[in-house]
């Protein structure tokens, strides 16, 4: 069932991708991005060991051909398979152009937290830390607030951070932020969103740099 907020965010993220880029999509909203690349030729990499991931029709699903979210995927022409050490060599080695990731929190220095919640039984990190170290550009796609209405764009992450590296861009259903020169810049309001809404729902300070 398509969630219109998630689809909106994914569609906006897809606009950031450029012809020929190699993209790694995280679990959740990022996975939806591939639907919106249209006729741009980009290449999707998945950390379990494949380059050339495509969407797949249900009748063609193969249980042994999956992405990092363990969802069945398709195999584009010119795709290739490799082991997990080689796959993370590509990630850490700087060979992935863009990683699009979900987060639990992101702070004013664009550090993200997306792998652990203190006191909860979440014992998993997966490839998130590697992608943050290695991808040339990291885009965060997230709802602006959590279910209880609190801003996910916070002064400081209260959950454990995923990396020292700041992400490059944050896309929510309300706005687009870029992290430049040590500051979060609000560069875009999503269609129909007023500045006050963004201000009200964003805990971290940001600079207004609307284009």
Nearest alpha carbon to residue 33 among 61, 67, 62: 67
- Out of 55, 125, 194, 200, which residue is the one contacting another protein (CB under 8 A)? 125
Q: Residue from 5, 7, 36, 92 that binds another protein (CB under 8 A)?
A: 92
| 173 near another protein, judged by CB under 8 A | no
Could you tell me if 165 and 132 are in contact, meaning their C-beta atoms sit under 8 angstroms apart? yes
Q: Which of residues 10-39 bind another protein (CB under 8 A)?
A: 18-22
Closer to another protein by CB, 89 or 180: give it: 89
Closest CA to 155 of 110, 201, 107: 107
Task: For residues 180 and 177, give the distance between their C-alpha atoms in angstroms, rounded to a whole number.
Answer: 9
Q: For residue 58, what are its two tokens?
A: 């249900």
Does 158 interact with another protein (rule: CB under 8 A)?
A: no
Q: Which is nearer to another protein, 64 or 192 (CB)?
A: 64
DSSP 145: B
Binding stretches for another protein (CB under 8 A)? 18-22, 43, 45-52, 61-67, 70, 75, 77-97, 116, 121-130, 133-134, 160-164
């Amino acid at each position: 069932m398509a969630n219109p907020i998630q689809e909106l965010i994914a569609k906006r993220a897809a606009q950031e991708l450029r012809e020929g880029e190699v993209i790694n999509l995280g679990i959740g909203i990022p996975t939806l991005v591939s639907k919106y690349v249209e006729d741009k030729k980009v290449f999707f990499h998945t950390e379990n060991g494949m380059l050339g991931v495509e969407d797949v029709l249900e009748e063609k699903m193969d249980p042994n051909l999956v992405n990092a979210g363990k969802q069945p995927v398709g195999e584009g022409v010119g795709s290739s398979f490799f082991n997990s050490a080689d796959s993370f060599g590509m990630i850490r080695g700087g060979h992935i152009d863009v990683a699009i990731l979900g987060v639990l929190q992101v702070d004013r220095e664009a550090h993200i937290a997306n792998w652990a919640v203190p006191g909860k039984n979440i014992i998993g990190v997966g490839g998130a830390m590697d992608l943050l170290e290695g991808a040339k550009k990291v885009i965060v796609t997230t709802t602006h607030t959590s279910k209880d209405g609190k801003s996910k764009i916070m002064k400081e992450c209260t959950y454990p951070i995923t990396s020292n590296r700041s992400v490059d861009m944050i896309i929510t259903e309300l706005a687009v932020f870029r992290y430049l020169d040590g500051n979060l810049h609000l560069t875009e309001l999503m269609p129909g969103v007023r500045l006050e809404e963004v201000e009200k729902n964003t805990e971290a300070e940001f600079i207004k740099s609307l284009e």
